[in-house]
Amino acid sequence: MSDQERKTWVSITFQYKPKDRLRPLDFVQEKEINFETSFGNSIAAVPIPAVGDSVVVNLHEGSGPYTVLTRHFTYLHSAVGLNVNVNIVVTDLEEDAYLARIKQ
């Protein structure tokens, strides 16, 4: 398979960690966020939130607002291209902090 036929797939999943727990809940969002591009193209345009960013996303516990605690990347190369899986752990963001962020 030529590089022109190969693809890069990016999958983002969010996982919730309550503030009173040491680890995230096993449940992740029902629908992953997926992107696809030609192999070798930059994935810089894919909106992957950084640690400390605020996000609103539908999770088992609600829709947020949340703040990003950690990001874990997995890169899997295969004959058809590259799979990039991003697991993002979030926790509750106080509403006052969220409102201050979106007002800036």
Q: How many structural domains comprise the chain?
A: 1
Domain for residue 97, yes or no?
yes
Residue 4 has pLDDT above 80, yes or no: no
Domain for residue 12, yes or no?
yes
- The confidence score (pLDDT) of residue 20 equals 92
* Residue-wise pLDDT tens digits, 48-84: 999 999 998 888 767 778 999 999 999 999 999 999 9
Question: Rounded distance, CA 10 to CA 74, Å?
Answer: 10
- The confidence score (pLDDT) of residue 104 equals 60
Give the Å distances, CA to CA, from 25 to 12, 60, 62, 78, 79: 17, 9, 13, 30, 34
- Mean pLDDT calculated for residue range 19-44: 84
Select the more confidently predicted residue: 104 or 18. 18
Domain for residue 1, yes or no?
no
- The confidence score (pLDDT) of residue 3 equals 67
Which residue range is the domain that position 44 belongs to? Answer: 7-103
Tokens of 18: 């309550």
- Mean pLDDT calculated for residue range 6-12: 92
